[in-house]
Structure 1
Amino acid sequence: MPDRSPQKLAALATAAVRGLDVVACGRAEADGADFDVAVVVDAAQGRWTVRASRRTAAAAALDAETGLLRGLQGRVPFAVPAVVGTVDLPDGGRCVAHRELPGVPLEPHDLRPGPGLAASVGRALAAVHQLDAALFADAGVPVYDAEEYRRRRLSELDRAAATGFVPPRLLTRWEAAMEDVARWRFAATPVHGDLVAEHVRTDGERLTGVLGWVDAKVADPADDFAWLAVGAEPDALESVLEAYAHARVEAPDPDLLVRARLAGELALARWLLLGLRTEDEEVVEDARRMLDELDSHADAAPLGS
C-alpha cells in the first residue's frame, strides 16, 4: 500500500496543475485510511488540497467523486471543491488537486438553536436531498432503494458482530432498529454520505462549503443527519430539522431521526471494520474504546422509543 509523504503529494500537484508553484506543504489533519492527503501552499499563499488513493476501490470512488463534483457546481447553495487538475499514478488510480474551501470546520456541539447557522445547515441538507438522483447515478456512485439499503446495513452489522468486539447490548439495540421494517419506508435521495465536522465549512453564520464527497450515494437521507443526531444539542438539532422540513418539497419521513441516531452509532462499527480491514491496530483499539463508552452511556430503551 503506497504511503505518500506531503512532499511527494506536492510534487504530484505540480504535475496535475499547470504552473502551480508550491512553496510549502504539510499533511492534512484527516487523511483517512483510503487516501493520502496533503495541504500545499502556492507562491501567492493560496492553499490547495491534494488527494491520492491508496487502494483500487478508493481510486474508483475518487474518480466518481471527481465527476460528481463537476455536476454539483452551481447546483447547491454552498461551495464544493472544484478539481483543477488530476494526474495518473504509476501504481494505478489518480491524484487530484483543488483549492482549499474557505471557512472553518463545523462542530455539531457549536450549533445554537434559531434561524442562523443551524437553519443554514438544514437548508443545505434539503438542497442536497432534492438534487436530481440522475446526477449522482451518472457520476457512477451507488444507488439503493430503501429495502436494499436496510439489507446493506444488516450485512454491515453482521460483519461487526462477527468480530466479537461489539458489546451484546449494542448489537441487540441495533438489530431491533433494523428489523423494524416500518421505520425504513423512506424515499431514497442523493446524500453526501460522510458528513462530519472536517467535511463541513462555516463562516460562523452559515454553512459555506462541503467537501469529502467520496461516499456520496443515492440512499437514506437520514445518513446526513447522523453527525448531528449524536453531536448536536437537542434544541439546535430541532432548528436544523425545522429548516430542513420547511425547505423540502416533500415532508421528511417520521422515522428520519431514529435512523440518523442509528447511523451515528453504527459509524463506530464501521470504524472498527475499517481498522480490521486495514490491519490498523490503533484504529481497532480506538473503535473498541468508543463502542464500550457508547455501551456504558446508551439508553437501555430501543432507538426511537
Structure 2
Amino acid sequence: MPRSPLALAALATVAVPGLDAYDVRRPAQPGTDYDVAVVIDAQRRRWVVRAPSSAAAGAALEAEVDLLEGLAEHAGSGALPFAVPRPVGFAHLPEGGRAAVHAEIPGAPLRVDTLRPGPGLAADLGRAIAALHELPTSVVESVGLPVYEATEYRQRRQAEVDEAARTGKVPPALLRRWEEQLEDVAMWRFRPTVVHGDLSAERVLVHDGKVSGLLGWGDTVVADPADDLSWLLVAASPEAADSVMEAYQLRRTELTDPHLQRRAFLAGELALARWLLYGVRTGDDEVVADAVAMLQDLDEHTRLADVESSASYA
C-alpha cells in the first residue's frame, strides 16, 4: 500500500534534523517505483522525500545516491549547467531500505510542444545533454553502474530484437529494417559516454527559459549517447530538434559520430520492442496490446515514408 503524504512527511522530519513540516503535497507526477511527496517547512523551503516501494527500487536508490554525489560535484563546478537532486538526509524504513530527502529543484517539467527553433530553450537543452555526455565515465564506473563498449551495446540491441521477433508480434518489415541497421557495423562505431538512460520531458526541469535540473538518475550507464536524444527527435518538431542537435554538436568535443541521429531514431523504435517484451514477461495483456498497436502504427508510418522517399527520387 502506498505511503500517505503524512507518513512521508514524518520520514522527512526524521531524515533532516530540525525540519519543521508545515505542509505536504503529492507531486504533480508521482512515480511508480517510489512513494514521493513534497514537504514544505516552516521557512517555506521545499523538500522532496522518496521512499522505495520495493526491494528492487531500494537497491536502485542506493546506487543512485552514490552517483548523485559525484554528479553534484560536477554541477557545483559548473561542468554540468543544471542541478541534480542531492540527498541531505535519510530515514530507515521498517521493511528495510531507506527513504531519501533532497531540496526541491526549482522548475516545471519540460513541455516539448513549447520548444521553438533558435537560440532559446531548445539550444539550452542541447547544451545540457552534451555537458552530461562530456562527463568523465569514471563518474559511473566508480559507483559500480553498468559500462558498455560499443560492440557490446550493439549486441544487446540485437538480442532485444531477436527476443521481440520470437513473440511473433512485430511486423516483418520492421524486423528487417531493425536487423539491417544493427548489421551495419559502421553505424555502431561510437565512443560510449555517460548516459542518463531514462530522459523524457518529465525528467527535465525548466525555470526561466533554461534547463534547471534533471531528475531520475536510476538508469544511468556508460553507453550510447544516442539513447538520450531519441525521445527529443521523436517528440519535438523537426525545426526544434535541429536546434537541439546543432547546440549539442557545438558543445561536444566528439564530432566524429555521423550516425548519431540514425541510432537515436532507432533507439526510439526499439523502445516499443522493449515495451512489448515487458508486457510479455509480466503477462500484462493490456501492455502487449498497446505495444502491438504502436508497432503497427510505426510499420505503417515507415512504409509510407519509404514510398514518399522513393517518389521524390523518381
Structural mapping, 1:154-303, within 5 Å: 154-203=158-207, 205-278=209-282, 280-299=284-303, 301=306
Separation in 1, partners of 2:281, 2:17? 37
Matched, 1:68 2:72: no
Aligned with 2:91: secondary structure?
strand
Write out per-residue CA displacement over residues 145-168 of structure 1, whole angstroms, 9 at most, x where no aligned residue: 101111112222233333344333
Q: Which residue of 1 aligns with 2:37?
A: 38
Q: Which residue of 2 aligns with 1:149?
A: 153
Task: Give the aligned length.
Answer: 302
8 Å CA contact 2:178–2:266 kept in 1: the answer is yes
Q: Which residue of 1 aligns with 2:24?
A: 24
Distance 1:274 1:93, change over 3 A: farther
Whose radius of gyration is greater, 1 or 2? 2
Where structure 1 has 5 or more consecutive residues not aligned to the other structure, the ranges are none
- Residue 3 of structure 1 and its aligned partner are, at CA, apart by 4.1
Where structure 2 has 5 or more consecutive residues not aligned to the other structure, the ranges are none
- Residue 267 of structure 1 and its aligned partner are, at CA, apart by 1.9
Bigger mean CA offset, 113-122 vs 55-64:
55-64
- Residue 254 of structure 1 and its aligned partner are, at CA, apart by 0.4
Q: Which residue of 1 aligns with 2:136?
A: 132
Q: Which residue of 2 aligns with 1:59?
A: 58
- Residue 76 of structure 1 and its aligned partner are, at CA, apart by 0.7
Separation in 1, partners of 2:292, 2:101? 34
Separation in 2, partners of 1:36, 1:169? 41
Aligned with 2:142: secondary structure?
helix
Distance 1:45 1:220, change over 3 A: same
2:109 aligned partner, one-letter code: P
Superposed structure 1 runs of 4+ greater than 6 Å apart: none
Separation in 2, partners of 1:49, 1:284? 34
8 Å CA contact 1:68–1:139 kept in 2: the answer is yes
Percent identity over the alignment is: 57
Matched, 1:101 2:102: no
- Residue 27 of structure 1 and its aligned partner are, at CA, apart by 5.4
8 Å CA contact 2:5–2:24 kept in 1: the answer is no
- Residue 284 of structure 1 and its aligned partner are, at CA, apart by 4.1
- Residue 266 of structure 1 and its aligned partner are, at CA, apart by 1.8
Separation in 1, partners of 2:175, 2:27? 36
Separation in 1, partners of 2:276, 2:96? 27
- TM-score, structure 1 normalization: 0.88
8 Å CA contact 1:28–1:38 kept in 2: the answer is no
Structural mapping, 1:112-131, within 5 Å: 112-131=116-135
Bigger mean CA offset, 167-176 vs 244-253:
167-176
Separation in 1, partners of 2:275, 2:16? 33
CA RMSD of aligned residues (A): 2.6
8 Å CA contact 1:117–1:204 kept in 2: the answer is no
Bigger mean CA offset, 102-111 vs 7-16:
7-16
8 Å CA contact 1:108–1:227 kept in 2: the answer is no
- Residue 190 of structure 1 and its aligned partner are, at CA, apart by 0.6
8 Å CA contact 1:121–1:240 kept in 2: the answer is yes
8 Å CA contact 1:10–1:25 kept in 2: the answer is no
Distance 1:5 1:187, change over 3 A: same
- Residue 237 of structure 1 and its aligned partner are, at CA, apart by 1.3
8 Å CA contact 2:109–2:205 kept in 1: the answer is yes
Separation in 2, partners of 1:157, 1:35? 30
- Residue 286 of structure 1 and its aligned partner are, at CA, apart by 3.6
2:81 aligned partner, one-letter code: P
Distance 1:206 1:222, change over 3 A: same
Separation in 1, partners of 2:223, 2:185? 16
- Residue 30 of structure 1 and its aligned partner are, at CA, apart by 4.1
Aligned with 1:215: secondary structure?
coil
Separation in 2, partners of 1:107, 1:283? 25
Separation in 1, partners of 2:41, 2:271? 36
Separation in 1, partners of 2:299, 2:122? 29
Separation in 2, partners of 1:184, 1:118? 27
8 Å CA contact 2:145–2:220 kept in 1: the answer is yes
